[in-house]
A and B are shown apart, each in its own frame.
Chain A
């Protein structure tokens, strides 16, 4: 795939070398392996809000909630709780 988000290398039980592209879902940070010549629809989809690749699970949700935003919320909540002494 173009602009792959990663690369996987496997030496299988027979010592045969196999490789695959991967991408990381922009909404949940899950690594997805890309099978050769697979149907793009089977990989998940392209979020039309953030224009990033997403996994099938997030594609089925139909919402755009980037992982970066989720982490920012978690960190803000953590810092707020710390400031209250929890």
Chain B
């Protein structure tokens, strides 16, 4: 089972947050011969000039390889591993088919000046099924109750492909 890293810093231009969901980076099963995948490490932090308000981060389901985005090639953590079959997309400028808030797998709000990391213990990863063009997307959102925070954020996902 090979492990990979993907982030919205690999290609494209990180987009400013808004008060509605902004997709940052996604991982999806390949269109043909998809494999199961597991997100086991997630890191994020503001890469622009932060305001003293919150950003909300969510991992939502994604059920199509759509939206306007930049294609990213995940990097294997072990250089001896073959390239990932899992698709990764980043820096969406138009939202794709993203699940409702009830599909959230991870939800946390942090100050824009904060950085955050989550690491799963073995067996507690966020797993997606081996079906074509379905997986997860990390979305960010500025403060819905007002505020001036619109800085871009950097998100890195480490995942395992089965």
| Chain A residues proximal to chain B, CB less than 8 Å | 3-13, 22-24, 28-31, 33, 67, 70-71, 74-75, 78
Give chain A nearest CB distance to B133 CB in angstroms: 10
Complex contact A29–B115 (CB within 8 A): no
What chain A residues lie within 8 Å of B117 (beta carbons)?
A: 8-10
Q: Is the CB of B129 within 8 A of A6?
A: no
Q: List 25 A-B contacts (CB under 8 A).
A: A3-B121, A5-B121, A6-B120, A7-B118, A7-B121, A8-B116, A9-B117, A9-B119, A11-B116, A12-B110, A12-B114, A13-B52, A13-B113, A22-B120, A24-B126, A29-B105, A29-B126, A29-B127, A30-B104, A30-B106, A31-B106, A67-B127, A74-B134, A78-B130, A78-B131
Residues of chain A lying within 8 A (CB to CB) of residue B121: 3-7
- B124 and A5 form a contact (CB under 8 A): yes
Closest to A18 in B: B114
Q: How far is the CB of A37 from chain B (nearest CB, A)?
A: 20
What does DSSP make chain A's interface, helix, strand, loop or mixed?
mixed
Give the chain B neighbours of A30 by CB distance below 8 A.
Answer: 104-106
With A7-B118, A22-B118 as contacts: A31 and B126 at CB distance below 8 Å: yes
How many Å lie between the Cα of A26 and that of B118 in the bound state?
18
**How many Å lie between the Cα of A4 and that of B119 in the bound state?**
11
Mark B residues whose CB is within 8 Å of A.
36, 52, 59, 104-106, 108, 110-121, 123-132, 134
- List chain B residues, Cβ under 8 A from A24: 120, 124-126
The reply to whether B129 and A74 contact each other, CB–CB distance below 8 Å, is: yes
Distance A81 CA – B123 CA, assembled complex (angstroms): 29
Kindly state the separation between the CA atoms of A81 and B18 in the bound complex, as whole angstroms.
38
The 3 A-B residue pairs whose C-beta atoms are closest, nearest first, are A5-B124, A13-B113, A24-B124
Bound-complex Cα distance A12 to B132 (A): 38
Contact B129 A71 (CB under 8 A): yes
Whole-angstrom CA separation of A16 from B36 in the bound complex: 37
CA gap between A78 and B29 in the complex, in Å:
12
Cα distance A74–B114 when bound, in Å?
37
Q: With A33-B108, A78-B131 as given contacts, are A10 and B36 in contact (CB-CB < 8 Å)?
A: no
What are the residues of chain A within 8 A of B104 when measuring CB–CB? 30
Complex Cα distance A9/B116, Å? 6
